[in-house]
Structure 1
Amino acid sequence: MLLAGFVALTAALANGHLLDLDLAVSEWAFTHDPAPLYWTARAFNLLGQGGGLLLPLSGALAVAVAWRRRTIRPFLLVAGALLITMVTIGPLKLWTDRAAPTASVKEPFLAPEEAVQVFNHLPAGAYSMSYPSGHVANAIVWYGVIALLLVSLTVGRLPAGLYRLVRYAPPGILLVTTTYLNFHWLTDGLAALLLGLLLDRLLHRVPWDDLPLPGHLRQWDGPFARHR
């Protein structure tokens, strides 16, 4: 269903549907950006920094879980998340060739009706990697990894409310902030939700505790996804 939804949304945009919605939301955001609200949104948008926050935090938690549970398996999860995001999100951005809303107010100064197009033919050097939103899709995947590692680190004692907060709040915040800041069109974020949830579901279906390891690593072969 998630894959079908992503394909359907992409096809709708390619056929000119929902572009008026994207333009209307973007225009509203451009005209409603008082400094306090703008800078608050910029601060919350830092939750989606992959190399500056999500990967280092996931790596640090993997080290902590590996040490506590005497297993290298948390690193398999982190590596899997890194691989699955790299081979999907980036290539899709290149393939769909969509400009960001800000392309209408800075280089290459496209008309909004041109910038919003999917499968565009943008000038050389123009930013053309807006669809889907990497911030949102990465957040779903990496905060899912972080939540799982926190559950493992606390041996299943992480409060359910805190788990849900870590798991779901950052992607929702990033959907709002990236759209409000005109870093992305609204449908960039909606597509990223579908793609991110699909990637997250695939990651959580992998039996991380049961994957075979080489003989010399079996002394650090304990489970980590199972709480005890």
Structure 2
Amino acid sequence: MRVELRPVRPAGWWLDALLVAGFAAITILLAAKTPLLGLDLAVRDFVDVHRPGWADATLRIFNKLGQGGILLTPLALITAFVLARARHTIRPFLLVAGAFVITYVTIGPLKIWTDRTAASDHDVAHPEYLFHIDTGMSYPSGHVVNAIVWYGVLGTLLAGVLSRRLVAAIRYAVPLVLLFTTTYLSFHWITDGLAALMLGLFLDRILRRAPWDAIPLGSRLTSSGWAGPFYDTH
């Protein structure tokens, strides 16, 4: 049986190629110590002197929207459980598992490999450099990648329940909030966030293409009626 990938918008692989190329370009430019590092320093220095206490406290709350293990994964699991019970299929959990695996094998290894310290670390000489400090774990922004992937998962799970506008807001508004908060609070360099946007959107498109409803689940689940479809994003 031929299994076809699900459609995404915009269609085709050209956007995926651009996202990967953009992520690679930012990484190479930072590693080569180009003037792009100056942008990081300029943005960090600007927000450090234009961050009143009330803004700092408020945005720290909003920044928690990007916590994967504490907030997003449990929220996705709860949503998947509710849908699985309502539609009598375990397939919602396949999407959640796919998101967990794809973030686990990308975000952490990239952070360890690039060795970049946070923008808030003023005690390190040249913290903006990549491949500089062994303990650095800043590049790319995990909060932003997690927000794109996990809110994308929630958007997919709830596509048949919520309106398209609300699903779009879940998918895209929260990641933009996280990009702003992580940069404004100096948790990350601006390029950490931009690279994370490109990586997150690429991963999101992979998950949206996956034919979750077509994956064989075995005769036992099929015969018991727990292997039916759960969503339609055409």
Question: So what's the TM-score if we normalise by structure 1?
Answer: 0.91
Residue 125 of structure 2 corresponds to residue 118 of structure 1: no
Q: What is the CA–CA distance in structure 1 between the aligned matches of 2:177 and 2:232, rounded to whole Å?
A: 29
Find the residue that maps to 1:209 and give its secondary structure: helix
CA deviations 1:159-190 (Å, max 9, x no partner) are 12211111111100000000000000000000
What amino acid is aligned across from residue 223 of structure 1 in structure 2? P
| Counterpart position of 2:165 | 161
| Counterpart position of 2:50 | 32
Residue 109 of structure 2 corresponds to residue 95 of structure 1: no
Relative to structure 1, is the Cα distance of residues 60 and 14 closer, same or farther in structure 2, using a 3 angstrom cutoff?
Answer: same
Give 1:143's match in structure 2, choosing from 151, 155, 166. 151
Relative to structure 1, is the Cα distance of residues 189 and 220 closer, same or farther in structure 2, using a 3 angstrom cutoff?
Answer: same
Find the residue that maps to 2:129 and give its secondary structure: coil
Q: What is the CA–CA distance in structure 2 between the aligned matches of 1:206 and 1:110, rounded to whole Å?
A: 42
Find the residue that maps to 1:54 and give its secondary structure: helix
CA deviations 1:64-86 (Å, max 9, x no partner) are 11011110000000000000000
CA deviation after TM superposition for structure 1 residue 227, in Å: 6.9
Quote the RMSD (CA, aligned, Å): 1.3
Structure 1 range deviating more: 133-142 or 31-40:
31-40
Structure 1 range deviating more: 184-193 or 217-226:
217-226
Residue 205 of structure 2 corresponds to residue 201 of structure 1: yes
Q: What is the CA–CA distance in structure 2 between the aligned matches of 1:52 and 1:92, rounded to whole Å?
A: 21
Relative to structure 1, is the Cα distance of residues 227 and 103 closer, same or farther in structure 2, using a 3 angstrom cutoff?
Answer: closer
Q: What is the CA–CA distance in structure 2 between the aligned matches of 1:85 and 1:148, rounded to whole Å?
A: 17
Give 1:46's match in structure 2, choosing from 64, 76, 79. 64
| Counterpart position of 1:177 | 181
Question: So what's the TM-score if we normalise by structure 2?
Answer: 0.89
Large movers: runs of 4+ above 3 Å: none
Structure 1 range deviating more: 216-225 or 90-99:
216-225
Q: What is the CA–CA distance in structure 1 between the aligned matches of 2:117 and 2:19, rounded to whole Å?
A: 24
Q: What is the CA–CA distance in structure 1 between the aligned matches of 2:83 and 2:233, rounded to whole Å?
A: 11
CA deviation after TM superposition for structure 1 residue 121, in Å: 3.5
| Counterpart position of 1:4 | 21
| Counterpart position of 1:82 | 100
CA deviations 1:17-65 (Å, max 9, x no partner) are 2000000000011111111111111011011011121011100000011
Find the residue that maps to 2:212 and give its secondary structure: coil
In structure 2, the gaps of 5 or more residues are 1-17
Relative to structure 1, is the Cα distance of residues 227 and 181 closer, same or farther in structure 2, using a 3 angstrom cutoff?
Answer: closer
What amino acid is aligned across from residue 8 of structure 1 in structure 2? A
What amino acid is aligned across from residue 224 of structure 1 in structure 2? F
Find the residue that maps to 2:153 and give its secondary structure: helix
Give 2:83's match in structure 1, choosing from 65, 84, 99. 65
CA deviation after TM superposition for structure 1 residue 202, in Å: 0.6
